[in-house]
Amino acid sequence: MARLGFIGLGVMGSRVARRLLDAGHSVSGYNRTASKAQWLADAGMTLLASPRAVAQASDVTFTMVTNTAALRSVTEGPDGILAGLRAGNTYVDMSTVSPAFSKDLATRVEQKGAQMLDAPVSGSVVTLEEGKLTFMVGGDAAVFERVLPILLDVGAKATHVGGNGLAVSMKVATNLSLAVQMLAFSEGVLLAEKSGIKREVAVEVLLNSVIASPMVKYRGPFVLQMPGEAWFDCNMMQKDMTLALELGRELNVPLPTTATTNEFLTAARGLGLDGQDFAVVFDVLARLSGVEVRR
């Protein structure tokens, strides 16, 4: 089996890495705060001192980091991934970042004699732990086929969408709907509640109705009880919404519901709720509606 490397062991990245370990892969890893990844070391991961060291020790290196700036910090410089890649290596980025930066990074990877795929994921902590995560992948089709068995050790499906950078564009196009759906769901719950229906009953009805997408089914209950750890906090969600709005302006695609929902994320941040899961847009709308948030 190929030697794997994984950089960015946060809420999602750590769980992806754990599934790779559980599948029997040899995995080296790096996290900016090494102590947070100690549980993976206890499970068999080899923790290394830098992204460069991970790339040097791996045939296929994965990253899953917060944003474009974070991806730049782990790929560039003397301790970055680019410095550690060798001819014939494969680099797979699972982050949601600027499509333009991703395409430029792929060019620089090729200059090292290696090849890059952008492979962001669709799903949550729950879908990941259930093995139902899906991938959208951009890059050379032959490289995709080589990496596909590894991706399927993590999730249920991987779809090749085209050249480098296109999977990131697809992920941005997908993620804008998450917050938009959450805001619409919140509107429905609050409208029912102010009509005299108990919030718990409204949630139950909506989660068993035609509007219950997979996202609504696993995040809708958050209006009753938020998770102890944010699955995807307001700052991360707003980063994706901003990427969508920037891409919309670039491509002349109006995104009115994205723009409106983005303002609710800004309001959540203004209220000091930015560290919570983005489902907290319900709280913002509840305050505007004069409804008490009870959890």
Q: 3-state DSSP call for residue 91? A: strand
Burial class (CB in 10 A: 0-12, 13-18, 19+), 94: buried
Q: Which residues of 180-206 are buried (b: 16+ CB within 10 A; e: fewer)?
A: bbbbebbebbbebbeeeeebeebbeeb
Residue spans of beta strands (DSSP E) within 13-78: 27-30, 46-47, 60-63
User: Is 171 assigned a catalytic role?
Assistant: yes
Q: 3-state DSSP call for residue 242? A: helix
Q: Angle at the Cα of 169 (from 158 to 81), degrees rounded to 5?
A: 75
**If you ran DSSP here, which 8-state letter would residue 220 be given?**
G
Contact present, 143 and 117 (Cβ < 8 Å): yes
Enumerate residues 6+ apart whose C-beta is below 8 A from 169.
Answer: 99, 138, 247
Q: Write down the number of H helices and E strands in the chain.
A: 14, 9
- Encoded amino acid at 55, one letter: A
Q: 3-state DSSP call for residue 277? A: strand
Q: 3-state DSSP call for residue 29? A: strand
The span from the CA of 199 to the CA of 169, in Å, is 36
Work out the number of other CB atoms within 10 angstroms of the CB of residue 82.
Answer: 20
Question: Which is catalytic among the residues 171, 194, 198, 217?
Answer: 171
Structure token digits, residue 25: 């892969």
Would you name the residues annotated as active-site residues? 171
